[in-house]
Structure 1
Amino acid sequence: MRVRVIPPGAEHLGAQLGADPWAPGGPLPATYGPWHPEVVIGADSPGALLLPPAEPTASWVYAPRGVWLDDDLLVVADTGNHRVLLFHRVPAADGEPADVVLGQPDEHTEGPQAGGAGPEAGMNLPTGVLRLPDGRLLVADAWNHRILLWDDLPSADRPADLVLGQATPYDVEPNRGRDPTATSFYWPFGVALVDGRLYVADTGNRRVLVWSDGAPCSPDQPADVVLGQPGFASRGENRDGPVGAASFRWPHTVAGNGGGVVVADAGNHRLLGWHAHPDRDLPADYVLGQPDMATAVEFPYRPQTGTGFRFPYAAVRTPSGLAVADTSNNRVLLWDGEPRDQGAEPRWVLGQPSFAANGENRWEQVGFDTLCWPYGLAACGDRLAVADSGNNRVVVWSRA
């Protein structure tokens, strides 16, 4: 089904859908607190979960799963179109086109490996995106089992300057075609720089890799720490045993917590947290989303609460606290401060009218403030960018 183009004058998604989120006494639920949607990146998908046009543009995205945000840059992993979009600002109006398209020869080509041109020119389901303080750009090219690194912010599509996880830019085998090592990946979905350390959520290997001095300078520079496995050569789900404080099922993203890190262990429906940065394989200090470290239960058909998750794929630290994309509950949870135990209630919920609701787009039509499978989060100042994957868009929210 073809998605309609945003009409001139419809500067906000609310205007397209016949609702004005800025009107006094507007329709925003009280559970949003000070948060409100500011602008939408991507085309309107009124029925949700609908395929966008076969020929994309620089204004449309398909199933985005990662996003990066700072004062002068928005980076979107346009996962379904196998590309990354760069905006040299936070867009002021809905549907603005990207300034740069990476991974495709032009804005209209889609398909893995630059429409078939080859892995040296393209991507295959990119997810995590990250801009380093020195200006370098990282992209987790997940299904090519590698991380791409540009030495500066590209002004046009060009190959990465460095490929991590593979021997050459032409190789795309998981774990370089052998058992896992300290330099290989299997579906690396998330990348994060926390207190100078580069964390990679190596999802298919059910582990998190850590480079203590930041991004490696060569494909052969091994990780310093592995979390979730007894060694670099192991990749068993939950360490080939029951779920525990030192195991993962699908680690997807990593975020800081003010001295340590939290890992969104999506497959176990939880977050694991370390109070300090682990310097070796260590059990987590606390868990969010489950009653204890040994539980990994999904509760899909009962009223939800603020302390239970279903496939939480993303977490990010905001200036005021922690934000979690509770993906299968179609919501984003926000804490004021850093929750450190499973009983810590979030302060706000975005995308739902209450902490008990969890419907895709609230079981209604797509709205300016509804969510359907939020997969990625990024924060900068009073803004929170949400990769609203099922609605084929990214929504930037603002805190008043």
Structure 2
Amino acid sequence: MAIHLPQANAQLRMFNGAYDNPFLAPRGVHLLGNKLLVSDTGKNRVFIWNQIPTQEFQSPDVVLGQDIATGTGRNQGSKISASTMQYPSGLWSNGKILAVADAWNHRVLIWHNFPTQSGQPADVVLGQTDFLGNEPNQLGVGSTPSERTMNWPYGLTSDGEHLWVADTGNRRVLYYDQIPTENNAPADKVIGKDTFDDRDYDHQHAIWPYSVKLSPHGQLAITDTQYYRVLLWERWTDAFSQPASVIIGQPTWEANGQNQFGLFPQANTLNWCYDSCFDNTGLWVADTGNSRLLRFSELPQQHNQPADSLIGPKDFSTSSENAETINGTNNTLYWPFSISISGQTMALADTGNHRIVLIDNH
């Protein structure tokens, strides 16, 4: 079943940032009750609204990563610090703690008290020895990773106690048993590698883990962008010792074709997928390269299971950015990167359209 935007039983809202300071390719979004957090990736900053905006263009309450609200430079066009960002992507908060994957600085920033002031510096940095470093794996390109280093961390998540980081460039997910309170804290475990210094390919693990998500019931999903698939574990603790129980988007561990090498997508195929998100019963997948969201109303129990419904194109075999835009883009998507769900509201980073889409009663 195809679902156009807006759905018949849903309310649709779209936000484009501030009137004098619009989004540029936002890649991260997080909903927390009435709070809306957005990684405005192309402009190297995070926007925070303490109440979901009511207008298409509305200034945020807090801007992080820049010294002025309209600033857009990488690391503020100067030296890296606890207050700067370069290509922020995934983010998570529980209303007190905020964590941001500062991808191109090869680090994760953590605020242990939710930011209330624009430009507020982070309290803790992971992946670097201090707030002044931003080399991949701390020593530069080609250096060996460790339990303390990162290389292009794009995604992260937490349950308020533990922390998972998609250390994308190192082809692994780092796990912290507690959200760190000190700089350069080591990860406790690693998903996808036997040791912390391993970067080898293994088709039974995520080749390019861009996103990691946890369900309220303890399931774990890792979106493996390079192999066009999502890996699903029934219990997150199993991910340390065994491959995923289910592959979404491919029929076997060895398979790695865009849309399974088909000319057109189908209900069981993916193309440059970048995120997934659990809801009360199932899973949504941001099938970015096909400019659509796929929904599995119940969690798949076998490899290559087809989705039940979608948002974006008119049917499962259509793949086109802003398909059927003769009446504008309000019913279409263009490279959706990130999904967040809070209650009955879904937030979507519609990256190619430089906007955030909110769908109520999704």
TM over 0.5: yes
Find the partner of 1:342 among 267, 288, 303.
303
**Pairing 1:292–2:252 present:** yes
Find the partner of 1:175 among 137, 144, 151.
137
Q: CA deviation digits over 1:27-63, x for unaligned, max 9?
A: x9569766645211216xxxxxxxxxxxx86651101
**Pairing 1:225–2:189 present:** yes
CA contact (8 A) 2:4 2:313 kept: no
**5 Å matches for 1:376-391?**
376-391=338-353
CA distance in 1 between partners of 2:285 and 2:78 (Å):
35
In structure 2, the residue matched to 1:48 is none
Tell me how far 1:197 sits from its aligned partner.
2.7
**Pairing 1:273–2:237 present:** no
Tell me how far 1:216 sits from its aligned partner.
1.6
Root-mean-square deviation (CA, aligned residues, Å) is 2.2
CA contact (8 A) 1:136 1:152 kept: yes
CA distance in 2 between partners of 1:175 and 1:86 (Å):
29
Give the secondary-structure state (helix, strand or coil) at the position aligned to 2:169. helix
For 1:161, the aligned partner's letter is: D
Give the secondary-structure state (helix, strand or coil) at the position aligned to 1:189. strand
In structure 2, the residue matched to 1:79 is 41
CA contact (8 A) 1:351 1:370 kept: yes
Tell me how far 1:351 sits from its aligned partner.
1.1
Give the secondary-structure state (helix, strand or coil) at the position aligned to 1:159. coil
Distance 1:295 1:335, change over 3 A: same
Give the secondary-structure state (helix, strand or coil) at the position aligned to 1:140. strand
In structure 2, the residue matched to 1:235 is 199
Find the partner of 1:92 among 45, 54, 73.
54
Q: CA deviation digits over 1:108-146, x for unaligned, max 9?
A: 21110013253343100000111036x111110000000
Give the secondary-structure state (helix, strand or coil) at the position aligned to 2:231. strand
Give the secondary-structure state (helix, strand or coil) at the position aligned to 1:204. helix
CA contact (8 A) 2:101 2:107 kept: yes
Give the secondary-structure state (helix, strand or coil) at the position aligned to 1:362. coil
Find the partner of 1:256 among 209, 214, 226.
214
For 1:221, the aligned partner's letter is: A
CA contact (8 A) 1:321 1:336 kept: yes
Q: CA deviation digits over 1:193-243, x for unaligned, max 9?
A: 148431110000000111133x1222343212211122100123x24xxx2
Find the partner of 1:143 among 101, 104, 107.
104
CA distance in 2 between partners of 1:347 and 1:31 (Å):
16
Tell me how far 1:333 sits from its aligned partner.
1.0
**Pairing 1:193–2:153 present:** no
CA distance in 1 between partners of 2:20 and 2:99 (Å):
20
CA contact (8 A) 1:41 1:59 kept: no
**5 Å matches for 1:327-366?**
327-362=288-323, 364=325, 366=328
In structure 2, the residue matched to 1:313 is 274
Distance 1:40 1:32, change over 3 A: closer
Alignment coverage as a number of residue pairs: 353
Distance 1:340 1:32, change over 3 A: farther
**5 Å matches for 1:26-175?**
29=3, 36=10, 38-42=12-16, 59-132=21-94, 135-156=96-117, 157-175=119-137
CA contact (8 A) 1:32 1:348 kept: no
Give the secondary-structure state (helix, strand or coil) at the position aligned to 2:294. strand
**TM-score (normalised: structure 1):** 0.83
Percent of aligned pairs with the same residue?
A: 31
**TM-score (normalised: structure 2):** 0.91
CA contact (8 A) 2:246 2:301 kept: yes
Tell me how far 1:364 sits from its aligned partner.
3.0
CA distance in 1 between partners of 2:41 and 2:34 (Å):
22
**Deviating more after overlay: 102-111 vs 361-370:** 361-370
CA contact (8 A) 1:58 1:98 kept: no
CA distance in 1 between partners of 2:160 and 2:49 (Å):
26
CA distance in 2 between partners of 1:322 and 1:372 (Å):
20
For 2:226, the aligned partner's letter is: G
Give the secondary-structure state (helix, strand or coil) at the position aligned to 2:147. coil
Give the secondary-structure state (helix, strand or coil) at the position aligned to 1:233. coil
CA distance in 1 between partners of 2:355 and 2:249 (Å):
26
In structure 2, the residue matched to 1:9 is none
CA distance in 2 between partners of 1:34 and 1:290 (Å):
31
Distance 1:110 1:86, change over 3 A: same
For 1:38, the aligned partner's letter is: L
Give the secondary-structure state (helix, strand or coil) at the position aligned to 2:122. coil
CA contact (8 A) 2:5 2:312 kept: no
**Deviating more after overlay: 320-329 vs 194-203:** 194-203
For 2:286, the aligned partner's letter is: A
Give the secondary-structure state (helix, strand or coil) at the position aligned to 2:322. helix
Give the secondary-structure state (helix, strand or coil) at the position aligned to 1:354. coil
CA distance in 2 between partners of 1:202 and 1:222 (Å):
13
Give the secondary-structure state (helix, strand or coil) at the position aligned to 1:278. helix
